Amino acid sequence: MSRRIATESDLRRVSRRELIKLLPIGLAGALLFKQPQRWLLKKGLTLSDAVSQLAFRRGSMTSEFRNSEVTPFEKFPYNFWDVADPEIDLDAWTLTVGGLVRRPGDYRLAGLQKLPKQEQNTRHVCVEGWDVIGNFGGTRLADVLSMVGADTSARYLYFECGDHYYQSIDMESALHSQTLACWAMYGRPLDRGHGAPLRRL
C-alpha cells in the first residue's frame, strides 16, 4: 500500500474546508450571546438604513391604479384581526401625540377628518407576503404632523397600536405626499379588521 506525505498546500486546503464547515456553527454560537447579537443587529440596521436612504426619492411616486384595477373589498385580506382584536371603544378613541411636537395631546378622529382628504388606489404590500391594490382615503401624514407642530428635523416617527404592535418610519417617508393617516377604505370608514379607526398607509 502506498502512502503519500501531505504537502503544505494539502493542509491549507483541508484547513479551509474545515473552517467552512465550522462557520455555521460559529455563527449560531455567536447568536447565543448578547454582545455579538447586538453588534450584528446594529450593523444590519445601519446597512438597511443606508440602502433605504439610497433608494428613497422624496419626489418619486408609487404607482396609482384605475378603479377597474382595484381588488374588490371582499377579497382584500384581513391580517389575523379576528384573534387579536383589542376591542377598542371606537367612539372614545383618541390619537395620543407626544415627543418633539409643539402641540402634544389627544386628538379625536373627527378633528383629523377636518384636514384635507386624499384618496388613492395604491398597492398594499403586507409583511405576511401578500399584496393587493386597494382604495384608501385619509389625510396626508405630513398634514397631521403640521397640525401638531412636529419637529420635522427628527429622524423617525414611532407608532404604537391598541394591541401594542409598534412600528417606526423615517421622517422623509412620513412627509411623502402619498403617506396617509388612513381612516377610510373603498369610500367607507375603516372596519376593525383593517385597523379602525386609523392606520398609517
pLDDT reported for residue 9: 54
Higher-pLDDT residue of 58, 82? 58
pLDDT reported for residue 93: 94
Q: Which domains are present in the chain?
A: 8-55 (no CATH), 67-200 (3.90.420.10)
User: Where does the pLDDT of residue 21 fall: very low under 50, low under 70, confident under 90, or very high at 90 and above?
Assistant: low
Residues 24-77 pLDDT 10s: 655 665 556 666 667 777 777 677 666 666 666 666 888 999 999 999 999 999
pLDDT reported for residue 32: 61
Residues 102-150 pLDDT 10s: 999 999 999 999 999 999 999 998 877 889 999 999 999 999 999 999 9
Residue reference for cell 420635522: 152
pLDDT reported for residue 11: 42
DSSP the chain: ----PPPHHHHHHHHHHHHHHHHHHHHHHHHTSHHHHHHHHHHHHHHHHHHHHHH--TT-------GGGSPPGGGSPP-SHHHH-----TTT-EEEE-SSBSS-EEEEHHHHTTSPPEEEEEEEE-TTS-EEEEEEEEEEHHHHHHHHTB-TTSSEEEEE-TTS-EEEEEHHHHTSTT-EEEEEETTEEPPGGGTTT-EE-
Residue 187 predicted with pLDDT over 80: yes
